[in-house]
């Protein structure tokens, strides 16, 4: 299905494996709806987070406005229930080249890596909607899990440490997504399993891009900070969690009642 070489760096980077209890819940047919819906939202949030980073740190105002316009149809569909999902694919393009703003210390590499990530995440968003359509799962807004918030709570509030921490968090989120896709693939319907396997290579590259950018911007050894967030991430994944979602922790009894209530899920790195 996929090479062990692809997942080896991911597994070495993460401080724990996905708990077996989570996998047992995730493979239940009745939980397919929440898994796919939360996966869908995670793809959009990943694109939003990357957009936020380059808008805040790297590009000029005209480029920043173009980024907002790029994501708007996807956000309108997700948060305001506007538009037809079938039209989203044609919106997955930028209207102009991204230009660094004057005086920014962050180079074109940050812009290029994040723009590619946005494009891929929005394409994955569309692909999840295709799968949901095939399995007759209507889109509904759901509450976000504790996971990303639990990581970002520990981000420092001064620069450039704040940016470095956000990039490290991005690396862990992408790495965990990759690990979970690989674990889930053999446990679910073949159509969904094949889709998860198709995502592994890009997710693995996203994790590496985030980590590389963090190291380049820091200009020094960040292994201590990476380990710090690794321990936090592992605790979020392995500790009991009342809310069953794609990035949730070990399911508790309460997590069997997944929350599919409407809420605004915008949360950016």
How far is 19 from 15, CA to CA, in rounded Å? 12
**What are the pLDDT tens digits along the chain (269 aa)?**
566 788 999 999 999 999 999 999 999 999 999 999 999 999 999 999 999 999 999 999 999 999 999 999 999 999 999 999 999 989 998 878 888 888 888 878 899 999 999 999 999 999 999 999 999 999 998 988 999 999 999 999 999 999 999 999 999 999 999 999 999 999 999 999 999 999 999 999 999 999 999 999 999 999 999 999 999 999 999 999 999 999 999 998 755 554 444 333 333 34
CATH number assigned to the domain covering 23-255: 1.20.1260.10
Query: Encoding tokens for residue 196?
Result: 């998860």
The structural domains of the chain, with segments of one domain joined by +, span 23-255
How far is 113 from 17, CA to CA, in rounded Å? 27
How far is 165 from 177, CA to CA, in rounded Å? 18
CA dihedral over 127, 128, 131, 133, signed as positive or negative: negative
How far is 170 from 214, CA to CA, in rounded Å? 10
Q: Euclidean distance between the first and final Cα of the chain, in Å? A: 32
Burial class (CB in 10 A: 0-12, 13-18, 19+), 223: exposed
Return the number of other C-beta atoms located less than 10 Å from residue 124's C-beta. 23
Return the number of other C-beta atoms located less than 10 Å from residue 108's C-beta. 11
Query: Is 29:136 a contact under the CB 8 Å cutoff?
Result: no
Query: Encoding tokens for residue 23?
Result: 């996998």
């Amino acid at each position: 299905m996929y090479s062990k070489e692809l997942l080896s760096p991911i597994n070495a980077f993460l401080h724990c494996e996905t708990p077996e209890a989570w996998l047992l819940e995730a493979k239940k047919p009745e939980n397919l709806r929440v898994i796919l819906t939360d996966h869908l939202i995670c793809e959009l949030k990943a694109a939003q987070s990357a957009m936020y980073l380059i808008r805040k740190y790297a590009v000029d105002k005209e480029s920043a406005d173009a980024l907002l316009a790029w994501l708007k149809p996807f956000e309108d569909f997700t948060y305001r229930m506007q538009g037809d999902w079938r039209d989203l694919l044609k919106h997955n393009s930028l209207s102009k080249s991204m230009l660094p703003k004057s005086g920014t210390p962050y180079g074109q590499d940050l812009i290029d890596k994040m723009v590619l990530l946005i494009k891929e995440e929005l394409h994955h968003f569309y692909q999840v909607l295709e799968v949901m359509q095939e399995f007759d799962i209507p889109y509904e807004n759901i509450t976000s899990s504790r996971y990303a918030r639990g990581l970002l709570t520990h981000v420092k509030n001064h620069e450039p440490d704040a940016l470095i921490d956000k990039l490290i968090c991005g690396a862990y989120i992408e790495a965990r997504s990759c690990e979970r896709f690989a674990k889930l693939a053999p446990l679910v319907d073949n159509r969904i399993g094949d889709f998860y396997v198709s995502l592994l290579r890009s997710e693995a590259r996203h994790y590496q891009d985030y980590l590389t950018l963090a190291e380049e911007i820091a200009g020094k050894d960040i292994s201590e900070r990476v380990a710090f967030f690794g321990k936090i991430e592992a605790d979020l994944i392995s500790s009991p969690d009342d809310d069953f979602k794609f990035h949730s922790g070990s399911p508790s009894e309460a997590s069997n009642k997944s929350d599919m209530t409407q809420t605004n899920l915008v949360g950016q790195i």
